[in-house]
């Protein structure tokens, strides 16, 4: 089976997907376009909605990082069979994306006054969401849903993204989140990938 994940030369929204693919032992082509060269017109025009990431499998194409992550989870034992449990994990993932969106609002804002307001909203959002993620993880024995799932990978990807752009370990006051980061980084496949990848970019 041929698999290809296409994104930029950064970790960003695709890193939890890469983690899951490596954890599941699924061989794939990791295609990365240089952000400084984007958009490459012929590539952009060929994409379903003109955006990355996309995931290709045996000639089929899927866009949207959440949809890709959920599908990869179904192929790697990280998606439960129970529909209610699936829905709970969907909610957890969307909650992670809610706080990451606050980072995007801050990062791309150009107006100085609005940027300061966006930074305040982001700082407050991190405390608000991280405290709730911490509570959920503790209730689930260290995981969303009581065992290792795709939502855990998405959470770690989101935390790493926030930490990188804010130049701070935002999870340091949340031991359950910190423990989950360490656990995922030590997983077979992920550990080897991180050793080759080097620093977060």
Task: Enter the tokens of residue 24.
Answer: 């599941």
Residue ranges of the chain assigned to CATH 3.40.30.10: 3-77+188-197
Task: Enter the tokens of residue 165.
Answer: 């752009």
DSSP class per residue in 40-99: -HHHHHHSSSS-S-EEEETTEEEESHHHHHHHHHHHTT-S-S-HHHHHHHHHHHHHHHHH
Task: Enter the tokens of residue 136.
Answer: 């959920």
Domain 83-185 CATH (choose: 1.10.10.410, 3.40.640.10, 1.10.287.3510, 1.20.1050.10): 1.20.1050.10
Q: How far apart are the first and last CA of the chain?
A: 29
**Cα–Cα distance measured from residue 195 to residue 201, given in angstroms and rounded to the nearest whole number:** 14
Is residue 77 within 8 Å of residue 24, measured between CB atoms? yes
Residue ranges of the chain assigned to CATH 1.20.1050.10: 83-185
Whole-number pLDDT of residue 110:
94
Angle at 20 between CA 32 and CA 157, to 5 degrees: 70
Is the peptide bond between 166 and the residue preceding it cis, with omega within 30 degrees of 0?
no
Q: Is 138 exposed, middle or buried (0-12, 13-18, 19+ CB in 10 A)?
A: middle
pTM over 0.75, yes/no: yes
User: pLDDT tens across 123-158, in order?
Assistant: 999 999 999 999 999 999 999 989 999 999 999 999
Fold annotation for 3-77+188-197? Glutaredoxin (3.40.30)
Whole-number pLDDT of residue 37:
86
**Cα–Cα distances in angstroms (integers) from residue 187 to residues 54, 90, 157, 178, 181, in the given order:** 25, 23, 15, 15, 10
Q: Is 90 exposed, middle or buried (0-12, 13-18, 19+ CB in 10 A)?
A: middle
* Mean of pLDDT over the chain: 96
Whole-number pLDDT of residue 42:
87
Phi, psi of 7 (to 5 degrees): -155, -165
Alpha helix positions (H), the chain: 15-23, 41-46, 65-75, 83-108, 112-139, 150-166, 175-185, 190-197
Percent of the chain with pLDDT over 70: 100
Residue 36 has pLDDT above 90, yes or no: no
Residue 172 has pLDDT above 90, yes or no: yes
């Amino acid at each position: 089976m041929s698999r290809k994940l296409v994104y930029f030369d950064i970790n960003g929204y695709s890193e939890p997907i890469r983690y899951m693919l490596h954890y599941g032992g699924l061989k794939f082509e990791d295609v990365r376009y240089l952000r400084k060269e984007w958009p490459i017109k012929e590539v952009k025009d060929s994409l379903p909605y003109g955006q990355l990431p996309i995931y290709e499998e045996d000639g089929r194409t899927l866009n949207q990082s959440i949809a890709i992550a959920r599908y990869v989870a179904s192929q790697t034992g990280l998606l439960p069979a129970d529909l209610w449990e699936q829905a709970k994990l969907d909610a957890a993932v969307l909650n992670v994306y809610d706080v990451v969106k606050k980072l995007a609002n801050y990062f791309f804002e150009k107006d100085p006054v609005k940027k300061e307001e966006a930074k305040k909203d982001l700082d407050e959002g991190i405390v608000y969401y991280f405290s709730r993620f911490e509570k959920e993880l503790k209730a689930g024995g260290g995981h969303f849903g009581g065992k290792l799932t795709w939502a855990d990978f998405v959470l770690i990807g989101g935390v790493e993204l926030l930490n990188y752009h804010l130049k701070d370990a935002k999870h340091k006051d949340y031991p359950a989140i910190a423990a989950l980061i360490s656990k995922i980084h030590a997983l077979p496949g992920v550990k080897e990938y991180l050793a080759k990848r080097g620093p977060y970019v």
